[in-house]
């Protein structure tokens, strides 16, 4: 496994385990204590006033900040190579808090054509109702962005690899084009995680995550994170999150995500290894028409993946020779693999984007946005790969 670029002098795993917490400052408690408190007492009324005015650091109320969240926010900022982080109630909480913080009526929002279903719905049915001019750009060819960008562009937004069809976008190229403009480049790094890809180091301004996925890693928490410059994150904290969405992460959930981070590198290595084996099997299977996985040499994004990712990730999309019905048959024949949305868990999960995660698009929109009706999405888990293979093979055998 190639060792990813490091942000500070210690390695990725070491920082994910140790940084920004010393047990000796907390009665020796190896695990950070959880601050299950909504509010914080002030020594004097004047102290409270100074904190509200921003003249003095210190906690006020857990919708603004909390010590348990602080550790996670700092660790994630460090792992992503950003200055500051913000822990939110969900991935959607991170995305909405960031965008509400920087957009005004009349501003232009340029988004890639493939987005996670609820992100698409928020932009298409939410933001555009409030005077934001939303334009879809196929950013897999950065020339399209050169044509679309203007002085009105305030946010350029994309996922890489994109949910669900595994398109990749060249982060450095996009960031370079945005340089001459006021626009912030916001990247959803949920699929790759900072272990495999660090958009900020490639020139992006803000990274958002669904921490529900690989960061938490165990399917037991809904959570989100945003990372960026100190100034931007302060604005998202005090405007987007505190006043507009209220989507703050709960301390218990921060504990779960902080725990997940400790094994992120180990889990990602295994997700990647398993996914490579599965993708190779699918590519060879006569029941499968096409496989979308950037680890395959035949994949159009293979070279870009090698350039901007340390490995190819745990997500695969594919279409069966027998089309939509064969995909449904396959899903229903599986015995170990669970039929469920979400991703990045220990358990291998399979779902059908057109009727599930991407049912927020109309059929017509899915067609325009390149999400085919027969596509099946697999989140490759941490089980023994032979068992995942065996379940898929028996499922495929009777799917047509």
The binding site for ligand 3LM (CB under 6 A) comprises 90-92, 116, 118-119, 159, 163, 188, 190, 210, 212, 222, 224, 341-343, 357
Q: Which is nearer to ligand 3LM, 79 or 317 (CB)?
A: 317
Neighbours of 206 (CB within 10 A): 28
Identify the active-site residue in 50, 63, 259, 262. Answer: 63
Q: Which is nearer to ligand 3LM, 51 or 167 (CB)?
A: 167
Residue 386's contacts (CB-CB under 8 Å, 6 or more residues apart) are: none
CA distance 283 to 318: 9
Residue 73's contacts (CB-CB under 8 Å, 6 or more residues apart) are: 84, 85, 86, 87, 225
Q: Which is nearer to ligand 3LM, 111 or 149 (CB)?
A: 111
Q: Which is nearer to ligand 3LM, 172 or 340 (CB)?
A: 340
Picking from 15, 9, 10, the residue whose alpha carbon sits closest to that of residue 265 is 15
Task: Name the residue with the smallest CB distance to ligand 3LM.
Answer: 91
Cβ 42 to ligand 3LM shortest distance, Å? 34
CA distance 79 to 70: 14
Cβ 297 to ligand 3LM shortest distance, Å? 25
188 is catalytic: yes
Identify the active-site residue in 21, 116, 122, 195. Answer: 116
Pair 113, 102: CB distance under 8 Å: no
Identify the active-site residue in 188, 232, 299, 345. Answer: 188
Cβ 399 to ligand 3LM shortest distance, Å? 22
CA distance 232 to 205: 9
Cβ 340 to ligand 3LM shortest distance, Å? 8
Cβ 80 to ligand 3LM shortest distance, Å? 15
Q: What is the DSSP letter of 181?
A: S
Q: How many distinct helices (H) and strands (E) make up the chain?
A: 15, 12
Helix axes 385-397, 264-284, angle to 10 degrees: 30
63 is catalytic: yes
Angle made by CA atoms 144, 91, 246, in degrees to the nearest 5: 115
Q: Which is nearer to ligand 3LM, 15 or 345 (CB)?
A: 345
Q: Catalytic residue positions? A: 63, 116, 188, 213
């Amino acid at each position: 496994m190639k060792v990813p670029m490091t942000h500070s002098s210690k390695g990725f795993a070491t920082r994910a385990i140790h940084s920004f917490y010393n047990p000796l400052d907390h009665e020796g408690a190896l695990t950070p204590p959880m601050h299950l408190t909504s509010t914080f007492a002030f020594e004097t009324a004047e102290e409270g006033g100074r904190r509200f005015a921003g003249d003095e650091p210190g906690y006020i109320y857990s919708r603004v900040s909390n010590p348990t969240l602080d550790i996670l926010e700092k660790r994630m900022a460090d792992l992503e190579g950003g200055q500051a982080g913000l822990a939110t109630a969900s991935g959607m909480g991170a995305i909405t808090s960031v965008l509400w913080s920087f957009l005004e009526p009349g501003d232009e929002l340029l988004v890639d054509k493939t987005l996670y279903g609820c992100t698409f719905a928020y932009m298409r049915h939410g933001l555009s109702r409030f005077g934001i001019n939303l334009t879809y750009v196929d950013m897999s060819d950065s020339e399209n962005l050169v044509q679309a960008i203007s002085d009105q562009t305030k946010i350029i937004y994309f996922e890489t690899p994109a949910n669900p069809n595994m398109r990749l976008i060249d982060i450095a190229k996009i960031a370079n084009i945005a340089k001459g403009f006021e626009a912030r480049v916001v990247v959803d790094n949920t699929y790759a995680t900072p272990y495999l890809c660090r958009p900020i180091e490639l020139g992006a301004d803000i990274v958002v995550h669904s921490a529900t996925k690989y960061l938490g890693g165990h399917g037991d928490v809904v959570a989100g994170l945003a990372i960026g410059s100190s100034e931007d994150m302060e604005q998202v904290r005090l405007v987007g999150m505190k006043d507009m969405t209220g989507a703050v992460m709960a301390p218990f959930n921060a504990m779960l995500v902080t725990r997940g981070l400790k094994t992120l590198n180990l889990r990602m290595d295994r997700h990647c290894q398993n996914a490579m084996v599965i993708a190779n099997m699918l590519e060879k299977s006569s029941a499968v028409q096409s496989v979308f996985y950037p680890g395959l040499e035949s994949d159009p994004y293979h070279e870009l993946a090698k350039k901007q990712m340390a490995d190819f990730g745990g997500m695969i999309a594919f279409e069966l020779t027998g089309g939509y019905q064969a995909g449904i048959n396959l899903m229903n024949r599986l015995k170990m693999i669970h039929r469920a949305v979400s991703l990045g868990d220990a358990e291998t999960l399979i779902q059908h984007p057109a009727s599930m995660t991407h049912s927020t698009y109309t059929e017509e929109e899915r067609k325009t946005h390149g999400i085919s009706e027969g596509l099946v999405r697999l989140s490759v888990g941490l089980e023994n790969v032979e068992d995942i293979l065996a379940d898929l093979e028996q499922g495929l055998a009777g799917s047509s």
